[in-house]
Amino acid sequence: MNIDIKAITELILRESEVLNRIRRSLAQVIVGQSYLIDRMLIALLCDGHLLLEGVPGLAKTLAAKSLAASVKASFHRIQFTPDLLPADVTGTLVLDLKEQKFITKKGPIFTNFLLADEINRAPAKVQSALLEGMQERQVTIGENSYPLPTPFFVIATQNPLEQEGTYPLPEAQLDRFLMKVLLTYPSREEEKIILREQQRIMSTKLEPVITPEELLRIREACHTIYTDEKIENYVLDIVQATRNPVSMGIKELDGMIRYGASPRASIYLVACARAHAFLQKRGFVLPDDVRAVGPDVLRHRIGLSYEAEAQDYTADSIIKTIFDRILVP
């Protein structure tokens, strides 16, 4: 099988202009946060969903709304609260008194971009209402199933779990998220720009810079990026180390992991590495691409044992140990 890396790279260089347009659009209203923007673009390329964790005020909601505005797509926001009901997300059947029959009233999940704001403020029953839509791209209301629009992209935000009044997300739902991204505060220089530019930012109205059809096209281009078998084996070694670190020669993590990453993690690691290579305008995947996206793909797919928590291990520290110890091809 002959792979024309040069032709693939030329394709990526041409199609990367689409992402450049999105970057320029977002730069009008978002100061800094380049890491967040890169992860949103990777999620767009991979057709996956994003979970953002950070304290309030870090532009999570603004970033999601601005991305939807830049892609010429519909956008809905749901504020998750303890009294929210599943029907408030998916929709329900209502009685039409005039026609004397039940009709379907679709919920806010029927959109291209859905912002699930503070998702961990609602009980698990409400959070799980998203599951069918996130995985199957459809919603069942009554006896009928309705397809969701294409593209369909969920950006969920949550407060750190140690805060009061939050509900940890079920593992099954966490696994549906392509990446979990931890957000930090802006630098002093970035915050000064935010202070000076706040009035202009608030009054800026973004116009669409790409169409859904262009988004689907660049996704197809991303799929063509070459991934060598050595990279695939590297990914499999990393995922295997999250399940049985001793078998991979990492004895210091023995007993520290309650459960490891699922096969979905292997699939997402390769997909995100391809998307990261796309952002670097490369037609092939390097180990550095895997290392760049690894923490975001794996941190919500590893369960720590009680012993690990007692020794102040975190998912990120375990992931770092694994990446430091697994041989790079």
Q: Is 5-217 in CATH node 3.40.50.300?
A: yes
d(CA 67, CA 317): 31
pLDDT at 212: 86
Domain boundary assignment for the chain: 5-217, 225-325
Residue pair 290/269 in contact (Cβ under 8 Å)? The answer is: yes
pLDDT at 164: 60
The contacts of residue 44 (CB under 8 Å, 6+ apart) are 67, 71, 151, 153, 215, 219
Residue pair 75/69 in contact (Cβ under 8 Å)? The answer is: yes
SS3 category, 74: coil
On the CB side of 155, CA atoms within 13 Å amount to 27
Query: CA nearest 119: which of 39, 52, 40?
Result: 52
The contacts of residue 319 (CB under 8 Å, 6+ apart) are 242, 294, 295, 298, 299, 302
**Whole-prediction pTM:** 0.90
238: its two tokens = 């990393």
Query: CA nearest 202: which of 70, 77, 28?
Result: 28
pLDDT at 110: 94
Per-residue pLDDT of the chain (329 residues; tens, 9 = 90+): 567 888 988 999 998 888 899 999 998 888 878 889 999 999 999 999 999 988 777 788 888 888 888 988 889 999 988 888 888 999 888 877 787 788 888 899 999 999 998 888 888 788 878 888 888 899 988 888 899 998 899 999 887 755 666 777 878 788 889 999 998 888 888 888 888 887 787 778 888 899 888 999 999 999 999 999 999 999 999 999 999 999 999 999 888 899 999 999 999 999 999 999 999 999 999 999 999 999 999 999 998 889 988 888 899 999 999 999 999 98
105: its two tokens = 């009233």
Looking at the chain, list the stretches that DSSP marks H as alpha helix, in order from N- to C-terminal side.
Answer: 5-26, 34-46, 60-70, 87-90, 124-128, 131-136, 171-174, 188-203, 212-223, 229-243, 263-279, 287-298, 306-310, 315-325
Residue pair 233/264 in contact (Cβ under 8 Å)? The answer is: no
pLDDT at 127: 80
d(CA 266, CA 235): 6
DSSP 284: B
Fold classified for 225-325: Helicase, Ruva Protein; domain 3 (1.10.8)
Residue pair 160/55 in contact (Cβ under 8 Å)? The answer is: yes
d(CA 160, CA 55): 7
Beta bridge pairs of residue 22: none
Beta bridge pairs of residue 116: 78, 156
Assign 3-class secondary structure to 93-128.
Answer: EEEECCCCEEEEEECCCCCCEEEEECHHHCCHHHHH
